[in-house]
Amino acid sequence: MKLILLGAPGAGKGSQATKISAEYGIPHISTGDALRANITAGTELGKFAQSFIEKGQLVPDEVVVNIVADRIKKEDCKKGFLLDGFPRTIPQAEALDKLTAIDVVINLDVDFELVIGRISGRRMCACGETYHISTYDKEICAKCGGKLYQRKDDNAETVKSRLEVYTKQSAPLVDYYKDKGILVNVDSNTTIQATFDAIKEILK
Ligand code: AMP
């Protein structure tokens, strides 16, 4: 099963991707995670990507297309994969079409008023776990004991640019995949579990 998760920043793509990946045993491929890993490792790619990410802008298409093209060639992607945060532009979607066929595109629908609160209260762990300060007030990850941190681009100013970028460059992907007949919309304004239950119903 080859899946794409679409949605605005703060729609819950990362949270749903973790759950889908565990439920269906397919690798979770997040271009955002791959770019952040390069920044942490201090690679040339990371240094290049960092300035775009910190301004809330998109990294150039060819950079992320190369990351995905390399990743989906790996053995563990033979039986499927889940793309989170890719594609984010029409040219990225067209490049992906040339690489492989996608089965289902899940679009997480979220009201923009909810997004700022979700993102500004988000705390991350290096192990991949994500928390929200409204439901978890500790500074240590419950899963691995790692120290939680806030993403540099999760501040109100950068979130505003990210939402503008989403509206201009990524929202047209909804129609792109609707026209191909593979898009499903899922309400992501409620809880993580309710959204996940709706996704499982669709993937049955
Ligand atoms: P994410 O973790 O998906 O929220 O991505 C964080 C940031 O990484 C984005 O705001 C972009 O700057 C960059 N990024 C991630 N995926 C892509 C992509 N497919 N195309 C361009 N930039 C991306």
Answer yes or no: is the C-beta of 17 below 6 A from any ligand 1 atom. Answer: no
Answer yes or no: is the C-beta of 9 below 6 A from any ligand 1 atom. Answer: yes
pLDDT band at 10 (very low <50, low <70, confident <90, very high): very high
Give tens-digit pLDDT for 133-180: 999 999 999 999 999 999 989 988 899 999 999 999 999 999 999 999
Give tens-digit pLDDT for 80-134: 999 999 999 999 999 999 999 999 999 999 998 889 889 999 999 988 889 999 9
Answer yes or no: is the C-beta of 35 below 6 A from any ligand 1 atom. Answer: yes
- The pick from 31, 38, 120, 166 for probing ligand 1's pocket by mutation, whose C-beta has the most ligand atoms within 8 angstroms, reads 31
Distance CA 199, CA 204 (A): 9
Express as a percent the part of the chain with pLDDT over 70.
Answer: 100
- Domain locations along the chain: 2-111+169-203
pLDDT (0 to 100) of residue 89: 98
**Environment class of 109 (CB within 10 Å of its CB; exposed 0-12, middle 13-18, buried 19+):** middle
Q: Residues 24-47: what's their mean pLDDT?
A: 96
Answer yes or no: is the C-beta of 32 below 6 A from any ligand 1 atom. Answer: yes
Distance CA 82, CA 109 (A): 18
Q: Answer left, alpha or beta for residue 10, where phi above 0 means left and psi between -120 and 50 means alpha.
A: left
191 C-alpha to ligand 1 centroid (Å): 24
pLDDT (0 to 100) of residue 16: 96
Q: Residues 53-71: what's their mean pLDDT?
A: 97
Determine whether 118 is an active site residue. Answer: no
Determine whether 36 is an active site residue. Answer: no
**CB neighbours (10 Å) of residue 73?**
11
Element (H, E) at 131: strand 130-132
- Phi, psi (rounded to 5 degrees) for 36: -65, -35
32 C-alpha to ligand 1 centroid (Å): 5
Residue 187 predicted with pLDDT over 90:
yes
The CATH superfamily label for domain 2-111+169-203 reads P-loop containing nucleotide triphosphate hydrolases (3.40.50.300)
User: pTM of the predicted model, to two decimals?
Assistant: 0.93
